Structure 1
Amino acid sequence: MLIVSDCMLVPVRSDLDLTTAPVLRQHLDRIVEGGCKRVILDMDGVEYVDSTGMAMILAESRAMRNRGGLLSLANVSENTMRALSIGCLTSFIPCTQKPEAVGAVAPLKPGVTPKRRLTIKIDAGNLEASRARLRELLVMLPLTDEEVFDMTLAAGEAMGNCVLHTPEACGFLTFAVFDDRLVIEAVDNGPGFSIASDEEPVPTLEHGRGIKIMRLLCDKVDIFRKPTGNGTVARMTKLFSSRGFGPVEEESWEAKIA
């Protein structure tokens, strides 16, 4: 039986052509029909996509959008990205290249302070309300609709961990807006957990996929124990791809959180 969740990572380990694309399409159809709202195709290992594969990706993306969801491609090789660009898919479907092609996220310069900062309490009894509050803030920032969708999901995973792994089911989200990026920290006071950036989580039937999902949706993810006291910090960084956080956006965001 296929277990369908709100967000699913689907590994693609072979080229997508006339023979392999229909098999993947059947699998994706079951996921979409199962109610999944976010599908990430992990394209690691794919070096060739023909017109049949492109048509399949486009059809599944449209099916998800019609249901209020989103499909995107991650870990796309340079050759595959070139083919998708020729096929005009990159203008319609979010695609990100392999990390080594994109480059590491540069650390903030010493002494740099956020232009805006806000902390909200996670409502353990109503995570939907917390996610709605999160979206209200994200749409005020220079992010695309897809990026708002992704950051809501990534932060939603972190919020769920705060509630799940804290005795009081309590946690806080802190938003820090810089010129070129958004940094969200989910902080709890549970037993504490850390994982190296190059360490892969061990998934089970119910747990372990959230970290991998966050890493694919964000530009950088750091998860570590709080420097003092008990608890875990999940720090998610999203770069502003097109433009910085300008004066107009500052005023709008400030009014929204007032």
Structure 2
Amino acid sequence: MEGRTSVDWGAEVRPHPFERCLSASAVLIAAVSGEMDYLTGPEFRAAAQRLLESPAQHLVLEMSGVDFLDSAGLNDVLRLSKRAAEGGGCLVLAAVPTLVRQVLSLTGADAVLPVYAQVADARNEPR
């Protein structure tokens, strides 16, 4: 679709060791941008699978570039969180735009997904 943005992982996925990480594993920070919906879901899920196959157990999704999140996109994020937890890790969200934060709040997903103002604020996570 012309003019449509998509989830962009590219070079933004990089290992970053958190000082307070309780695991010896590195933390991956993945920048997500564009719309997170049923159309971009397959791309997001493929990128998420690559992240889960990495040696790092802990994931931070930097969401400042996300301009739309529907129920399908939220479901993909929740699935990623569950799969990270099943592998002994965790998923946290950082730099979440106001509109996306409202979706998380209205659905109660913010009770399940830790949300931080900035990536640097996620230092106390993952646990």
The normalised TM-score by structure 2 is: 0.71
1:106-127 Cα shifts (integer Å, max 9, x gaps): xxxxxxxxxxxxxxxxxxxxxx
CA distance in 2, matches of 1:26, 1:46: 18
**SS of 1:18's equivalent?**
coil
CA distance in 2, matches of 1:15, 1:51: 12
Listed as ranges, the gaps of 5+ residues in structure 2 are 1-10, 16-25
**Equivalent pairs: percent with the same residue?**
24
Q: 1:23 aligns with which of 36, 43, 48?
A: 43
Output aligned runs, 1:37-186, within 5 Å: 37-97=57-117
CA distance in 1, matches of 2:32, 2:121: 15
Give the count of matched residue pairs: 103
Runs of 4+ in 1 over 4 A off after TM superposition: 2-5
Listed as ranges, the gaps of 5+ residues in structure 1 are 100-212, 219-237, 239-258
The normalised TM-score by structure 1 is: 0.37
Matched, 1:8 2:28: yes
The one-letter code matched in structure 2 to 1:15 is E
Once the two structures are TM-superposed, the CA of residue 35 in structure 1 deviates from its matched residue by: 3.0
CA RMSD of aligned residues (A): 2.2
Counterpart in 2 of 1:36? 56
